[in-house]
Structure 1
Amino acid sequence: MILKDQVGNFLTKLTEEPPSDRELRRAVASQKPITRLFKDDGIVPNHPRWPLVIYRRAVKLRGHDPAALIDALFGMNNWDKSWRDGIYDFVHYHSQVHEVLGVARGEGRVEFGGVKGRILALKAGDVAILPAGTGHRLIESSRNFLVVGAYPPEGSYDECTDTRDRGSAIKSIKLVRRPKSDPVYGKSGPLLSLWPSPAQRKGRGSKTR
């Protein structure tokens, strides 16, 4: 289904007027990230090192179609293969790729981390960045709830919904490389420090000895 969504969104982008680079820069609001690190709950692996990252009101949705604005912002920062829709109402996760979700319209309550995780409210302008393995599902939403999703080039789309996926998924999650840019703030964004590479983690550890 995701491939169909991506093809449909690609065709949509061909017929709409994209925002200019200036509009994109003006739409970005500097916000302090909120992080949540979830443990493996026995069903959903989640990520062993990197947390869910949420930016509240990170995109100012004025002066342009909100979905097109968020879509173009993600694309500018090299998070592509985008789609526009809601969020599945069943628990699922991706073991081979990270995912970003930007709310273009409406509001919804989303469960992150599996049934033992957290239910968080997301509103228009909010952005959630999910490291590979992060369980998520929609609990409830307004009728006009619209999300733009996208992925970095580091990884391949997959969809895990069954406990039989766990063994191979746990191995795959650890192998997904860190993205080279933050989907909202680019190469200088806080995501890169919130998701440190193994070398960075080792370096930090040596400094504290």
Structure 2
Amino acid sequence: MQGNLADIAIEHFADDGTFPNNSLPVIIYRRAVAEPSPEAMEALFDQNGWPIAWRYGVYDFHHFHSTAHECLGVARGSARLQFGGPEGRVFEVVAGDVIVLPAGVGHKNLGSSADFLVVGAYPPGMSADLLKGEPGERPGADERIAQAALPKTDPVGGQAGPLLSKWG
């Protein structure tokens, strides 16, 4: 299975003083999986070298990860997700969409359908911490974000995906 590489959005989020975000862009693949399901998302990510970490949703509070880049595959339902922290932007996502968040980018679920389900994946060797933009989290978080290695493959496009050129 090859993901849809034609319909993508590249979104940048600057440090807002609380949420570090990242100079690397968020990549949103629209309709990356034509017939979405948890198994289809897992197969896509596995095929492209991003190990599956969980099936869940997206937390309803602003948070970020300083130790890992994160891939969110919308397997079922829809949601309004905010990226970039409280001052960020809101995106509607639906089943079949895939979002790749570089380490440090704030995200929050503002509301979702009852059946909303996400498959989460990280590049090999990475696991996520959970930070909420609380006092004292930085500068340690900034140091960990700077040390987060770039992935060797794109979770949707493998070696041919735009993540490698946009993040390279």
Same fold (TM over 0.5): yes
Is 1:111 aligned with 2:86? no
What residue number does 2:47 align with?
76
For 1:107, the aligned partner's letter is S
Runs of 4 or more above 6 Å deviation: none
Q: Which runs of 5+ in 2 are unaligned?
A: none
Q: Which has the higher strand share?
A: 2
Q: Secondary structure at the match of 2:129?
A: coil
Q: Secondary structure at the match of 1:166?
A: coil
Q: 1:182 and 1:77 mapped to 2: Cα distance?
A: 7
Q: Share of identical aligned residues, percent?
A: 47
Q: What is the TM-score of this pair, normalised by structure 1?
A: 0.77
Is 1:146 aligned with 2:112? no
Q: Secondary structure at the match of 1:121?
A: strand
By how many angstroms is 1:171 displaced? 1.0
Work out whether residues 154 and 177 of structure 1, in 8 Å CA contact, stay in contact via their aligned partners in 2.
no
Correspondence for 1:96 among 67, 72, 83:
67
By how many angstroms is 1:154 displaced? 4.8
Work out whether residues 71 and 101 of structure 2, in 8 Å CA contact, stay in contact via their aligned partners in 1.
yes
Correspondence for 2:19 among 33, 44, 68:
44
By how many angstroms is 1:30 displaced? 3.2
Aligned length: 167
What residue number does 1:169 align with?
141
Structure showing greater radius of gyration is 1
Q: Which has the higher helix share?
A: 1
By how many angstroms is 1:78 displaced? 1.2
Is 1:190 aligned with 2:162? yes
